[in-house]
Amino acid sequence: MFSSDDFISYSAISSGYFLSNTPIITQIIFSISTITLSRIFEHIHDKVEGLNAALNELQEVADRIEAENKKGIDNVKEALENLVKKEREVDEFKNEEKKVAEIMTTLDDQESASAASI
């Protein structure tokens, strides 16, 4: 509910009010409390700057991870494309092999037919 900074500010202001007998003492105590408040605001500002710096670093890390993931995805995609290309080459080779086998069978049949007719 209350932080230590709140208690410091409250005690400085209340002590200025309760301990002052003269306007000079009141001014001194209120100037001390003003310095305390300004330091508290600086402290808060430093924390906000630290949080902003941390958020920027997190964003940079997230960007790097995203770039690495994109590279990884691109590498997997390229590998799959290469596999598909090789699969097509293998299929073409098998088709050529079948054609050669058919030609060999046809030639054997023709040789057998010519040998039988002689």
pTM, rounded to two decimals: 0.43
8 A C-beta contact, residue 16 and residue 29: yes
Angle at 75 between CA 70 and CA 79, to 5 degrees: 150
| Cα distance between residue 60 and residue 116, in whole Å | 83
Output the pLDDT for position 24. 76
Assess whether pLDDT exceeds 80 at residue 13.
no
8 A C-beta contact, residue 29 and residue 20: yes
Ordered by start, the domain boundaries in the chain are 4-117
Pick from 3, 13, 2, 15: which is nearest to 36 by CA?
13
Q: pLDDT digit string (tens) for 68-98?
A: 888 888 888 898 898 889 999 888 888 888 8
Output the pLDDT for position 106. 87
**40: Cβ contacts below 8 Å, ≥ 6 apart:** 5, 8, 9
Residue 66 tokens read as: 């995203």
Tally Cβ neighbours within 10 Å of residue 33. Answer: 20
Output the pLDDT for position 1. 47
Average pLDDT over residues 107-115: 79
Assess whether pLDDT exceeds 70 at residue 12.
no
Q: pLDDT digit string (tens) for 17-76?
A: 566 667 777 777 777 777 777 787 787 878 888 888 888 898 998 888 888 888 888 888
At 106, which amino acid appears? T
Q: For residues 104 and 112, which has the higher predicted lDDT (pLDDT)? A: 104
Output the pLDDT for position 110. 83
| Cα distance between residue 95 and residue 88, in whole Å | 10
Upper half-sphere CA count for residue 108 (Cβ side, 13 Å): 6
